[in-house]
Amino acid sequence: MKINCLILLILQIIFCKSTFAETAAIPAPPKIDASAYLIMDFDSGQLLASENIDQRIPPASLTKMMTIYVAASELAENKIHLDDKVVVSEKAWRMLGSRMFIEVNKEVTVGDLLKGIIIQSGNDASVALAEYISGDEDVFAELMNQHASRLGLTNSHFTDSSGLPNEQHYTTAYDMAILAAALIRDFPDIYALHSEREFTYNGITQQNRNSLLWLDKTVDGIKTGHTEEAGYCLVTSAKRDDMRLISVVMGSKGEKARTETSLALLNYGFRFYETRKLFSANEILTTAKIWKGDTDSVRLGLTGDLYITIPRGQFENINTVFDLPERMIAPIAQGDEKGKVKLILSDKEIVSRPLFAMQSIAQGGLFSRLKDDIRMILQ
C-alpha cells in the first residue's frame, strides 16, 4: 500500500512539472502611465509589451538620436572626422533650452560636439554639428529624413536637429525603438558614448540626463527628452548576460515617472523572457527534392541570423516546421525564396521566416528531364 502511494505521489509530481512547463504563464506587464510605450528585444525585434506604439508624438530631444545617427554615418564614410574643427555660428550659440555652452565664432571639435549632444543634450551643439555636416540645418533635416526612410521609420518626420516643437516634427514609440536598435547595431563606438555619466566643456561639467545610468549598471543608454508638448520621454537600452532590451516611454508625467516606468519595463522583460539564437545566416537548415535539375536536391537556409524571444523555460518546447513547396523544378537561382521555416510553441506559430536557396540549380539533361516528367505524372 505504501509503495503504491509512493508511486502515485511520484507520478503526480512528474505530471505537475510537465503541466507547468507546458502552461507556464507570463504575467501582464506593469501598468505604464504614458502616452505610448514599448519594450523590445534588440536581437529578435520582438515586442514584449506595448501601447500606442504607432501614435505620432513630438519627440523632443529624442530627435538627437537621429542627429547622432546621421553624424555617425558621416564619420563612417570619412566625410567628417572627430578632430575636425567647427566654427560656432550665431544661430547655434543663441539656441535656447539645454546647452553645451559653446561660444559664437569659437572652434569646437566634432568629437566634443558629439559628447555635448549625447551627454549634455545640447541644442546648441546639435545645430553646430548639423550646420557643419550640411551647411544649413534645414538641409540637415532632409538628410535626417532620408536616413529615416532607409531605416523604415514610416511614421517619423524631422524638421530640425534638436527637437524643437513643430507640427511637422513627429515620431512614434516604435520608430524610436527601430532607430535605437540601428544606432546600437551600426555604430557601436559612437553608441558607447551614451553610457558616459558626465562631460566637461568650457569649464562647465554637466551630468548625463539619463538617471538610469546611476540606478542600473546594465543600462548603457540612450536618450531623454522633454517639452511641454511631448511630455517626459526616455529611450533606454540595457544588456544583461546575452540579452539586450530596448524600452521607449513617451509622454510620461515627470522625470521620476519616466525613469521608474522604464526600469519597470526592463525588469519585466529580463525577468520573464529569454532570447536565443536558433540559426545563423547561410546555415543549411534543410534540403529539398529538385525535379528536372542537374542535381537531386537543393540546400535551403536563411540570409540573416534568426533569434527568438520566448517565455523563460520554454525553449525545449519549441518545434521547428519546414513549409516547402509541393514541387521545386529547376532551374533555381541562388537566393530564390523557397518555402518558410516556422517555429511552433504550444501549438501556436511564433515565428515565420522565408527560406532561400543556398545554391543555384541548373536544368538537367534532356533524358533526365523526361524521366522526371514521367515520375511527376505517375505521382
pLDDT of 10 = 36
Confidence category of residue 144, pLDDT binned at 50, 70, 90 = very high
pTM more than 0.85: yes
Question: Cα angle at 139 between 138 and 144, to 5 degrees?
Answer: 95
The mean of the pLDDT values for the chain is 92
How many CB atoms are closer than 10 A to CB 218?
15
Does residue 296 sit in helix, strand or coil?
coil
Does residue 128 sit in helix, strand or coil?
helix
Confidence category of residue 76, pLDDT binned at 50, 70, 90 = very high
Whether the pLDDT of residue 7 is over 70: the answer is: no
Half-sphere exposure of 145 (CA within 13 A, CB side): 15
Q: Mind listing the domains of the chain with CATH numbers?
A: 36-272 (3.40.710.10), 280-378 (2.60.410.10)
**pLDDT tens per residue across span 145-179:** 999 999 999 999 999 999 999 999 999 999 999 99
How many CB atoms are closer than 10 A to CB 114?
21
Q: What is the Cα–Cα distance from 350 to 342, expressed in whole angstroms? A: 8
Confidence category of residue 24, pLDDT binned at 50, 70, 90 = low
The residues annotated with a catalytic role in the active site are: 61, 64, 121
Residues with Cβ < 8 Å from 155, sequence gap 6 or more?
A: 54, 56, 170, 171, 172, 174, 175
C-alpha cell at 372: 522526371
pLDDT of 58 = 97
Q: 44 to each of 69, 188, 274, 304, how far by Cα in Å?
A: 21, 18, 11, 11
- Closest CA relative to residue 169, chosen from 247, 98, 225, 115: 225
Does residue 260 sit in helix, strand or coil?
helix
pLDDT of 1 = 41
Q: What is the Cα–Cα distance from 12 to 214, expressed in whole angstroms? A: 47
pLDDT of 19 = 29
C-alpha cell at 76: 563612417
**pLDDT tens per residue across span 107-128:** 999 999 999 999 999 999 999 9
Confidence category of residue 245, pLDDT binned at 50, 70, 90 = very high
148-185 core/surface letters (b: 16 or more CB in 10 A; e: else): beebebebbbbbbbbbbeeeebbbbbbbbbbbbbbbbe
